[in-house]
Amino acid sequence: MNIGIIDCGGANLNSIYYSFKRLGINAIISNSLNELSEMNAYVLPGVGSADVVMNTLRKRDLINFIKCTNKPILGICIGMQILFDYSEENQTRCLGIIDGNIEKFNVNDGVNVPQMGWNKVECDADKNLNGYYYFANSYFNKDSKFTIGYSSYGNKFSSIIKKDNILGCQFHPEKSSKAGERFLTYFIKLI
Protein backbone atom coordinates (compact mmCIF):
# COMPACT_ATOMS: atom_id res chain seq x y z
CA MET A 1 0.00 0.00 0.00
CA ASN A 2 1.30 3.44 -0.97
CA ILE A 3 -0.09 6.78 0.18
CA GLY A 4 0.61 10.00 -1.69
CA ILE A 5 0.87 13.06 0.53
CA ILE A 6 0.00 15.86 -1.87
CA ASP A 7 2.42 18.77 -1.57
CA CYS A 8 0.13 21.78 -1.68
CA GLY A 9 2.45 24.18 0.09
CA GLY A 10 1.71 23.13 3.69
CA ALA A 11 4.25 22.91 6.46
CA ASN A 12 3.32 19.62 8.13
CA LEU A 13 4.23 17.22 5.32
CA ASN A 14 7.03 15.45 7.18
CA SER A 15 4.93 15.03 10.34
CA ILE A 16 2.27 13.22 8.33
CA TYR A 17 4.89 11.18 6.46
CA TYR A 18 6.47 9.96 9.72
CA SER A 19 3.05 9.22 11.25
CA PHE A 20 2.34 6.76 8.43
CA LYS A 21 5.89 5.37 8.62
CA ARG A 22 5.38 4.59 12.35
CA LEU A 23 2.28 2.61 11.32
CA GLY A 24 4.31 0.65 8.77
CA ILE A 25 2.72 2.37 5.76
CA ASN A 26 4.76 3.52 2.77
CA ALA A 27 4.11 7.17 1.88
CA ILE A 28 5.64 9.70 -0.47
CA ILE A 29 5.40 13.49 -0.56
CA SER A 30 4.81 14.66 -4.11
CA ASN A 31 3.13 17.14 -6.43
CA SER A 32 3.84 15.07 -9.56
CA LEU A 33 0.75 13.71 -11.34
CA ASN A 34 2.82 10.76 -12.61
CA GLU A 35 3.97 9.78 -9.11
CA LEU A 36 0.61 10.42 -7.46
CA SER A 37 -1.33 8.40 -10.04
CA GLU A 38 0.58 5.29 -8.86
CA MET A 39 -0.58 5.67 -5.24
CA ASN A 40 -3.44 3.77 -3.55
CA ALA A 41 -4.70 6.76 -1.52
CA TYR A 42 -4.00 10.44 -0.89
CA VAL A 43 -3.64 12.95 1.91
CA LEU A 44 -4.38 16.67 1.56
CA PRO A 45 -2.25 18.08 4.38
CA GLY A 46 -3.37 20.60 6.91
CA VAL A 47 -1.29 23.73 7.40
CA GLY A 48 -1.87 26.91 5.39
CA SER A 49 -4.68 29.15 4.21
CA ALA A 50 -7.49 28.21 1.84
CA ASP A 51 -6.51 30.65 -0.91
CA VAL A 52 -2.82 29.69 -0.87
CA VAL A 53 -3.59 25.96 -0.92
CA MET A 54 -6.11 26.34 -3.76
CA ASN A 55 -3.71 28.51 -5.78
CA THR A 56 -0.93 25.95 -5.25
CA LEU A 57 -3.17 23.09 -6.41
CA ARG A 58 -4.20 25.16 -9.43
CA LYS A 59 -0.58 25.97 -10.37
CA ARG A 60 0.41 22.32 -10.03
CA ASP A 61 -2.59 21.20 -12.14
CA LEU A 62 -3.90 18.95 -9.36
CA ILE A 63 -7.49 20.18 -8.93
CA ASN A 64 -9.13 17.90 -11.53
CA PHE A 65 -6.94 15.01 -10.41
CA ILE A 66 -8.23 15.35 -6.83
CA LYS A 67 -11.85 15.91 -7.88
CA CYS A 68 -11.92 12.96 -10.28
CA THR A 69 -10.09 10.23 -8.36
CA ASN A 70 -12.10 7.42 -6.83
CA LYS A 71 -9.21 6.45 -4.55
CA PRO A 72 -9.46 7.29 -0.83
CA ILE A 73 -8.54 10.86 0.14
CA LEU A 74 -7.87 12.13 3.67
CA GLY A 75 -8.16 15.88 4.14
CA ILE A 76 -6.49 17.22 7.30
CA CYS A 77 -7.47 20.65 8.73
CA ILE A 78 -7.19 23.04 5.76
CA GLY A 79 -7.07 19.90 3.61
CA MET A 80 -10.58 19.09 4.85
CA GLN A 81 -11.81 22.67 4.53
CA ILE A 82 -10.89 22.95 0.84
CA LEU A 83 -13.09 19.91 0.11
CA PHE A 84 -16.12 22.18 0.68
CA ASP A 85 -17.61 24.73 -1.73
CA TYR A 86 -16.38 27.95 -0.20
CA SER A 87 -14.26 29.34 2.64
CA GLU A 88 -14.66 32.72 4.31
CA GLU A 89 -10.86 32.72 4.56
CA ASN A 90 -9.95 35.29 1.91
CA GLN A 91 -13.29 34.54 0.19
CA THR A 92 -11.94 31.39 -1.46
CA ARG A 93 -13.79 29.17 -3.92
CA CYS A 94 -12.74 25.63 -2.95
CA LEU A 95 -12.94 22.16 -4.56
CA GLY A 96 -16.71 21.74 -4.18
CA ILE A 97 -16.54 18.00 -3.48
CA ILE A 98 -18.67 18.44 -0.35
CA ASP A 99 -21.61 20.86 -0.17
CA GLY A 100 -21.25 23.62 2.39
CA ASN A 101 -19.14 26.52 3.56
CA ILE A 102 -16.29 27.16 5.95
CA GLU A 103 -16.79 29.94 8.52
CA LYS A 104 -14.50 31.76 10.92
CA PHE A 105 -14.76 31.27 14.69
CA ASN A 106 -16.20 34.35 16.36
CA VAL A 107 -14.56 35.78 19.48
CA ASN A 108 -18.05 36.99 20.47
CA ASP A 109 -18.85 33.33 21.16
CA GLY A 110 -16.37 33.49 24.05
CA VAL A 111 -13.51 31.63 22.36
CA ASN A 112 -9.96 32.53 21.41
CA VAL A 113 -9.20 32.54 17.70
CA PRO A 114 -7.46 30.42 16.56
CA GLN A 115 -8.44 27.32 18.49
CA MET A 116 -5.12 25.85 19.63
CA GLY A 117 -4.90 22.68 21.66
CA TRP A 118 -6.75 19.52 22.63
CA ASN A 119 -10.48 19.16 22.12
CA LYS A 120 -12.93 16.29 22.38
CA VAL A 121 -14.30 14.53 19.30
CA GLU A 122 -17.53 12.55 19.47
CA CYS A 123 -18.09 10.14 16.60
CA ASP A 124 -21.31 8.11 16.48
CA ALA A 125 -20.18 6.26 13.34
CA ASP A 126 -17.24 4.64 15.13
CA LYS A 127 -16.93 4.89 18.92
CA ASN A 128 -13.22 3.97 18.65
CA LEU A 129 -12.65 7.45 17.18
CA ASN A 130 -14.03 9.21 20.27
CA GLY A 131 -11.36 11.00 22.24
CA TYR A 132 -9.19 14.09 22.45
CA TYR A 133 -7.35 15.37 19.38
CA TYR A 134 -5.08 18.32 18.70
CA PHE A 135 -6.66 21.26 16.85
CA ALA A 136 -5.08 24.39 15.33
CA ASN A 137 -7.76 26.23 13.35
CA SER A 138 -9.52 29.56 12.96
CA TYR A 139 -12.12 28.26 10.50
CA PHE A 140 -14.64 25.41 10.62
CA ASN A 141 -17.70 23.82 9.03
CA LYS A 142 -20.73 24.18 11.27
CA ASP A 143 -22.64 21.12 10.11
CA SER A 144 -22.57 19.00 6.97
CA LYS A 145 -24.85 16.12 6.08
CA PHE A 146 -21.58 14.18 5.79
CA THR A 147 -20.44 14.94 9.34
CA ILE A 148 -19.74 11.80 11.38
CA GLY A 149 -17.81 13.46 14.23
CA TYR A 150 -18.47 16.65 16.19
CA SER A 151 -16.57 18.90 18.55
CA SER A 152 -17.50 22.08 20.40
CA TYR A 153 -15.67 25.39 20.51
CA GLY A 154 -18.11 28.18 21.22
CA ASN A 155 -20.49 26.23 18.98
CA LYS A 156 -20.75 22.64 17.80
CA PHE A 157 -18.80 22.02 14.58
CA SER A 158 -17.79 19.24 12.19
CA SER A 159 -14.58 17.56 13.27
CA ILE A 160 -14.85 14.46 11.01
CA ILE A 161 -16.60 14.22 7.66
CA LYS A 162 -17.03 11.21 5.38
CA LYS A 163 -18.45 11.04 1.87
CA ASP A 164 -17.83 8.17 -0.55
CA ASN A 165 -14.02 7.94 -0.91
CA ILE A 166 -13.44 11.14 1.09
CA LEU A 167 -12.54 11.34 4.79
CA GLY A 168 -11.77 14.65 6.45
CA CYS A 169 -10.73 15.76 9.90
CA GLN A 170 -10.49 19.27 11.31
CA PHE A 171 -7.88 18.18 13.86
CA HIS A 172 -4.28 17.09 13.25
CA PRO A 173 -3.98 13.31 13.68
CA GLU A 174 -0.20 13.57 13.23
CA LYS A 175 -0.08 15.66 16.45
CA SER A 176 -2.72 13.70 18.36
CA SER A 177 -0.73 10.83 19.91
CA LYS A 178 -2.59 7.51 20.26
CA ALA A 179 -5.95 8.98 19.22
CA GLY A 180 -4.32 10.26 16.04
CA GLU A 181 -2.85 6.84 15.32
CA ARG A 182 -6.30 5.28 15.75
CA PHE A 183 -7.72 7.79 13.29
CA LEU A 184 -4.99 7.17 10.68
CA THR A 185 -5.54 3.41 11.11
CA TYR A 186 -9.26 4.01 10.47
CA PHE A 187 -8.33 5.77 7.21
CA ILE A 188 -5.92 2.99 6.20
CA LYS A 189 -8.72 0.42 6.62
CA LEU A 190 -10.73 2.33 3.99
CA ILE A 191 -8.04 1.71 1.38
Alpha helices in 23-62 (DSSP H): 33-37, 50-59
Range of the domain at 102: 2-189
Summarize pLDDT for 133-184 with one digit per residue, the tens. Answer: 999 999 999 999 999 999 999 999 999 999 999 999 999 999 999 999 999 9
Give the chain's count of helices (H) and strands (E): 6, 13
Query: CATH code at 125?
Result: 3.40.50.880
Catalytic-labelled residue, pool 77, 94, 123, 169: 77
| 94: annotated active-site residue | no
| 172: annotated active-site residue | yes
Catalytic-labelled residue, pool 8, 89, 174, 181: 174
Catalytic-labelled residue, pool 8, 38, 172, 181: 172
The residue count for the chain: 191
Distance CA 188, CA 107 (A): 36
Number of domains in the chain: 1
| 174: annotated active-site residue | yes
Q: pTM for this one?
A: 0.96
Name residue 70's amino acid. Answer: N
Summarize pLDDT for 48-93 with one digit per residue, the tens. Answer: 899 999 999 999 999 999 999 999 999 999 999 999 999 999 999 9
